[in-house]
Chain A
Amino acid sequence: MPDEPNLGNVPQATVVPRSRARISVVWIIPILAAVVAIGIAVQRILSEGPTVRIVFKAAQGVEANKTFLKYKDVNIGQVTAVQLTPDYTHVEVTAKIQKSAAGLMVEDARFFVVEPRVTLSGVSGLGTLLSGNYIGFEVGKSKKKETKFVGLETPPVITGDQPGKEFKLTANSIGSLGIGSPVYYRRLQAGQVTAYTLASDGKSIDLRVFINEPYDKYVTEATRFWNASGIDVSLSASGLQVQTESLVSLIAGGVAFDTSAFVTGTGPVAAETTFTLFNDRTTAMKQPEKAAGRFVLYFKESLRGLSPGAPVTLLGLPAGEVTDVGLDIEPKTKALRGRVDVVTYPERLIERLSAGQAVEGAALAKSVAERHALFQRLVEHRGLRAQLKSGNLITGQLYVAMDFYPDAPKAQINWSQDPTVLPTVPSTIPDLEAKVSSILAKLDQLPYDQIGTDVSKVLATLDGTLKDVNTTLGAINSDVTPGLRKTLDDLQSVIATADDVLKKGVNETLSQVNATLEDLRKPLAAADVALRNADVVLKNADATILGRDAPVQQDLRDALQEITLAARSLRTLMDYLERHPESLIRGKTKQENP
């Protein structure tokens, strides 16, 4: 063991206390947690969009925290609360909108509940059957921000970005139209009815129609809209008219528009222009009458079949229409008479003047006095009178015809009266009746008895004649028939004779044929023998055919000679038959040596 070294001077190792920070690193953990939590909170707040309130009449299937707001099928928010409005009449839906969609919340943005819908014009919202209803959204055009909205009851028919124009229509009644009803232009679907409301005064319906882009430019000042719903069947003095726009409009209703021919040279109108919705095409396309003259006509005859709207014609051309049919007490005589109010449209007639008379026409169109003067002249000097005429004999529809009756009693026209009384002449319909009755009277006067006796006389004569004919036929029967019968008998006996002769001949011939065949049998028997010999020869052939000069050759030769003989006699027979084929029927004639 080595000596212990002196350890007295070995320095003592120092223990340096670990430097201990007063603040521990562990504080990083709460700081980190705080940063993360605050970060999430900040992100939430920053991503928070606006909260909007939408008031619906009914919010079917809308649930808090479940129902989404969707625009073009993209979520733009979520419903956070559904509650009743303070007055309990509506539902207020509170929804949180995503920040990205905050810009869409403008004044005229539209909200609506999307649910499955089945209408005549289609089925929509089928997807919501599985996913539940959602709130649909349509962008607005305004720039003003808004957080309170009134929800639509039905989804808008036209989406906001669809090109086209919207117009207003005023109608007396909505007919069978509804939201989504088609609008037709020349039977093409050009748009849809987007909304309708009762006018504030309750007297008309305000409709809104949306016309899609290519068609909206055809909506001009001259455009007339009319209700094209269903079938329009009208029976008037002009006959039966059936009009329909399309099968869909027949069921779902529709609106049609077209340009009136009477208004010209106008360009497309601005959106939101108001138009009148007419009941039918005829009314819609009627010329707007500016210069209308009102007249009253008094008739002493039946006005049955005359109804408001019946045409008034001048020389058969449409000149106006009946506006009212009623009664009037004549002031002087206190007699009751029929009163017919008519309105005339002189422009229509002026339009029909020939081109060369445009100047006169223009003058007439302009000046009322001019028209009155002309009319007065016609009434007072030419005998222009109104008359009831039957437009349709079957239905009995009447119309008012203005024609010239120079023989009619003189009449004046007093323009100071309003409406002016227009002189009339009685209808020709009663005349017709009178004629018919006179015909009937004449018919009545016909001597039916005499005609009867005459006819019976004629019949008696006819009877005699027929009897004569009968006698003649009897004579023919008695005179001609026996001769004919005799002739026939003769003919029969001739035929019988011929029959006998023929029968006998044929029999004889057959027996001769028989004999000939007998003759034939002999050579055939010889041939048979020969063939038998040949058979024998052939049977012996095995033994005898070896040598050329064998006895079998001799036998064969003999046999062949026999066959030759038989063949010859056959040939003779055949020759004979060829020359005398009749011998088969008639037998062999006496042999004459050639």
Chain B
Amino acid sequence: MRTATLTAADAGLVACEKCDLVSRPVEPAEPGYCPRCAAALESRRYHSIQYTWALVIAAAICYIPANVLPVLTTTALGSVDSDTIMGGVLLLYNTGSWPLALVVLVASVMVPLGKLGALSYLLISVQRGHVTSRRERTRLYRLVEWIGRWSMLDVFVDTFTVALVQLQPLMSVEPGPGVLFFAGVVVLTMIAAESFDPRLIWDASVRSAEARHA
């Protein structure tokens, strides 16, 4: 598939990210402000790759305790039950409700993992200056960005359960430390997706990408 080779950056122009006005920058290194909406102009987001990498790594670190530590501690009739996300999935699967297990597995395990994988792939491909399947990578990026808002579902359910199931002497539900890390994963991947500059995908050559954003 042929794609347009000329980008605004290649043409020595810069597009405003807020109002999309293409203008001539003051200097390529210091583009100045948008003449129309006075937003700071940036040919490519500042340290986008570094930022995204940092957040992706942070999210990856948080992903481990999020899955190892219990997210929910149920106390029923004196017996205490601590469940991790994976434990919950297995419990649902073992009790026969495998569709529900699948939903939880996809939403809570695979989606965050997929996001981390997708962002890593995008970052690596941009850094290496891959020129193939740029459109697919752009779509992947849009998907990652779109799915981010749904990832907090788990945390939402967790907090709801904790707030609702408080029958003190008989049964109570306490949030586990895992839920904090899980929320951390979701928030960090969302910010990471936001800080990634998809225009980098379209930067033609390795050299130009490296020249600007080493």
Contacts and interface: CB of A to CB of B under 8 A. Distances in A.
20 contacts: A17-B27, A20-B47, A24-B51, A24-B54, A26-B47, A26-B50, A29-B55, A29-B188, A30-B57, A30-B61, A33-B61, A34-B58, A34-B61, A37-B62, A37-B65, A40-B69, A66-B79, A131-B78, A132-B78, A132-B79
B184 A33 contact: yes
Interface in B56-80: 57-59, 61-62, 64-65, 69, 77-80
A24 B55 CA distance: 12
A132 B78 CA distance: 7
B177 interface: yes
Given A15-B26, A17-B30, A24-B47, A130 B54 contact: no
A290 interface: no
Given A33-B61, A37-B181, 12 more contacts: A17-B29, A23-B50, A27-B54, A30-B57, A33-B59, A37-B61, A37-B62, A37-B64, A40-B65, A66-B80, A131-B79, A132-B79
Most buried by B among A15, A17, A37, A68: A37
Closest 8 CB pairs of A and B: A131-B78, A30-B58, A33-B58, A30-B57, A33-B61, A26-B54, A29-B58, A24-B47
B82 interface: yes
Contacts of A132: 77-79
Nearest to A30: B58
A79 to B, nearest CB: 11
A265 B50 CA distance: 93
Nearest to B69: A40
Given A24-B47, A40-B177, A66-B80, A30 B54 contact: yes
Given A26-B47, A26-B50, A40-B177, A32 B58 contact: yes
A18 interface: yes
Nearest to A67: B79
A65 interface: yes
Contacts of B46: 20
B81 interface: yes
Interface residues of A, number: 22
Most buried by A among B30, B47, B54, B64: B54
A68 B181 CA distance: 27
Interface of A: 15, 17-18, 20, 23-24, 26-27, 29-30, 32-34, 37, 40-41, 65-66, 68, 130-132
Nearest to A16: B30
Prevailing SS type, chain A contact patch: helix
B55 A30 contact: yes
A66 B64 contact: no
A132 B26 CA distance: 76
B189 to A, nearest CB: 12
Contacts of B59: 33
A29 B59 CA distance: 9
Contacts of B61: 30, 33-34, 37
Interface residues of B, number: 28
B148 to A, nearest CB: 17
Contacts of B58: 29-30, 32-34
Contacts of A68: 80
Interface string B203-214: 000000000000
A182 B69 CA distance: 50
Interface string B22-36: 000011011000000
Interface in B67-105: 69, 77-82
Given A24-B50, A65-B82, A132-B77, A33 B69 contact: no
A312 B62 CA distance: 93
A411 B176 CA distance: 101
B182 to A, nearest CB: 13
Contact of A18 (B30, B64, B81): B30
Most buried by B among A29, A32, A34, A132: A29
B65 A131 contact: no
A65 B80 CA distance: 8
Contacts of A66: 79-81
A65 B47 contact: no
Contacts of B81: 65-66
A15 B78 CA distance: 70
A351 to B, nearest CB: 66
B177 A33 contact: no
A37 B182 CA distance: 12
Nearest to B169: A130
Contacts of A15: 26-27, 30
B185 to A, nearest CB: 9
Contact of A26 (B27, B51, B80): B51
Most buried by B among A20, A26, A34, A130: A26
A26 B55 CA distance: 8
A70 to B, nearest CB: 11
A49 B64 CA distance: 22
A66 to B, nearest CB: 5
B35 to A, nearest CB: 16
A255 B126 CA distance: 88
A444 to B, nearest CB: 91
A402 B6 CA distance: 139
Nearest to B29: A17
A34 B184 CA distance: 12
A210 B191 CA distance: 70
A486 B80 CA distance: 121
A29 B51 CA distance: 10
Interface string B153-190: 00000000000000000000000010001001000100
A20 B50 CA distance: 13
Nearest to A29: B58
Nearest to A28: B54
Contacts of A23: 50
Given A15-B26, A24-B51, A33-B58, A130 B64 contact: no
A130 B78 contact: yes
Nearest to B177: A40
Contacts of A41: 65
Contacts of B64: 37
Given A15-B30, A40-B69, A131-B79, A33 B51 contact: no
Most buried by A among B59, B64, B65: B65
Contacts of B26: 15
A115 to B, nearest CB: 14
A23 to B, nearest CB: 8
Contacts of A24: 47, 50-51, 54
Contacts of A29: 54-55, 58, 188
A20 B46 CA distance: 9
Contacts of B57: 30
Contacts of B184: 33
A130 B46 CA distance: 61
B94 to A, nearest CB: 14
